[in-house]
Amino acid sequence: MSKTIAINAGSSSLKWQLYTMPEEVVVAKGIVERIGLNDSIFTIKYGEGDKYEVVKDIVDHETAIHMLLDQLTELNIIESLEEITGAGHRIVAGGEHFKESAIIDDAALKLVDELAEFAPLHNPAEAKVIRVFQKLLPNTLNVGVFDTSFHTTMPDVNYLYSIPMEYYDEFGARKYGAHGTSHRYVSERAAEMLGKPLEETKIITCHLGNGASITAVDGGKSIDTSMGFTPLAGLTMGTRSGDIDASLLPYLMDKLNITDIKEMVDILNKKSGLLGLSGVSSDMRDLLEAQETDSRAKVAIEIFEDRVRKYIGSYVATMNGVDAIVFTAGIGENDVEMRRNVINGLTWFGCELDEEKNNVRGDERFISTDDSKVKVLLIPTDEELMIARDVETLKNN
């Protein structure tokens, strides 16, 4: 039977999910963590709750993929590697070139490498993984699924920054956004749940995980999104600052005796957001626990919710209306209190939360009242399924 593997490679990790297609059945999934470090962790979940785990040094992605392919046959998850006819690779930066998912041949792979300028930690690792697949599974179709593709429909009014136009023309300085595969999945699913053609819907999708972004999806197309040139912009996130005044950078560098701007940007990426505000943790669960006794944790949560609300409000204006607001990803799917606080601040727009329906974690459903003018939905995201579907589509073209 034909199988497709969806791959999400980070700089030191590799997450994957193996599907039987076109049935869209998950036959196994796993993760390799701490690649290139000591005691890497290699896990596979398969069958009826079976689990294979080994802890040993895995020096690079190639070794990890070797182990993975060996174990898939060893554990009888597949009979032969020939069964894997498609591999879909999540790629962070697709720039303006990759407007949709694409078959990755040598020319496309070169472009992925060139786009590393926009995602220096991610694109090179992803390109490396594709090369390993080309080598180890020469008959498998490799497809790139880009985080940015869904946002390439944004109009210039929304993707241009108000800086000299030459910087866009010459250097590609513009908003690219991220989390596109997730926003695409939940907006399509929301239209199905609303029982309306996607082309006739105005949906605001809130992907709230460690990284967080909100997108205005008009008629199935992204027309604005909160992340920017990189994922640093927009909402308050686990460790990222989100939007700030750029003039703060030289001011703080002066105060902190920092001379390298990269060090300052690193602080905004890794030491800010919920972590920086609270001083407790970047993890929302820790803040929820601490908030009773810790005023900094409390204000961090309040700021997170405020920014979510503000972006939703601004996207209602961008689209001149909204049919549905969708919550997804770790915080969006599980944080009952956050959803309540955000939606109860949007009643003027016609949102009415059903407290009982909202009191749930990770279960796809409407969480607004039946009469609510604007519907509010909880939809667990499924980027891997989207990747597998894109491979299937390109395989059949």
Point out the residues that are catalytic. 147
Does residue 227 have a known ligand-binding role?
no
Burial of 294 (0-12, 13-18, 19+ CB in 10 A): middle
Residue with tokens 């490396």: 128
Nearest-angstrom CA–CA distance, 147 and 101: 10
| Region 338-377 residues binding ligand ADP, contact defined as CB under 6 A | 361
- Whether the bond between 22 and the residue before it is cis, its omega within 30 degrees of 0, is yes
Q: Residue for token digits 């601004």?
A: 314
Q: Which of residues 64 and 212 has its CB atom nearest to ligand ADP in the complex?
A: 212
Beta strands in the chain (DSSP E): 3-9, 14-20, 25-33, 40-46, 50-56, 84-91, 102-103, 141-146, 202-208, 212-218, 221-225, 324-328, 365-366, 375-378
Q: Is the dihedral of CA 338, 342, 345, 349 positive or negative?
A: negative
Q: Token pair for residue 89? A: 């690779």
Segment 282-341, which members bind ligand ADP (CB under 6 A)? 283-285, 288, 329-331, 334-335
The answer to whether the annotation marks 207 as part of a ligand binding site is yes
Neighbours of 206 (CB within 10 A): 27
- Smallest separation (angstroms) from ligand ADP to the CB of 324: 20
Residue sitting closest to ligand ADP (CB): 330
Token pair, residue 154, equals 């944004």
DSSP 154: -
- According to CB under 6 A, which residues from 25 to 84 bind ligand ADP? none
Q: Which of 43, 158, 210, 369 binds ligand ADP (CB under 6 A)?
A: 210
Does 211 interact with ligand ADP (rule: CB under 6 A)?
A: yes
Q: Give least dist CB 323 to ligand ADP, A.
A: 25
Give least dist CB 294 to ligand ADP, A. Answer: 16
Residue 231 Cβ vs ligand ADP, minimum distance, rounded to whole Å: 10
Smaller CB distance to ligand ADP: residue 18 or 208?
208
Give the range of 3-11, 148-156, 207-215, 224-232 binding ligand ADP by CB under 6 A: 207-215
If residue 131 lies in a helix (H) or strand (E), which one and from where to where? Answer: helix 123-136
Interface pick for ligand ADP out of 30, 95, 180, 209 (rule CB under 6 A): 209
User: 271 vs 139, 266, 267, 349, CA distance in Å?
Assistant: 44, 8, 5, 35
- CB of residue 52 to ligand ADP, shortest distance in Å: 23
Residue 48 or 356: the one with the smaller Cβ distance to ligand ADP is 356
Query: How far apart, in whole angstroms, are the C-alpha atoms of residue 334 and residue 339?
Result: 9
Q: Which residues are annotated as a binding site for ATP?
A: 15, 207-211, 283-285, 330-334
Q: Which residues are annotated as a binding site?
A: 8, 15, 90, 207-211, 283-285, 330-334, 383
Q: Which residues are annotated as a binding site for Mg(2+)?
A: 8, 383
Q: Note the residues at the interface with ligand ADP (CB under 6 A).
A: 209-211, 238, 283-285, 288, 329-331, 334-335, 361
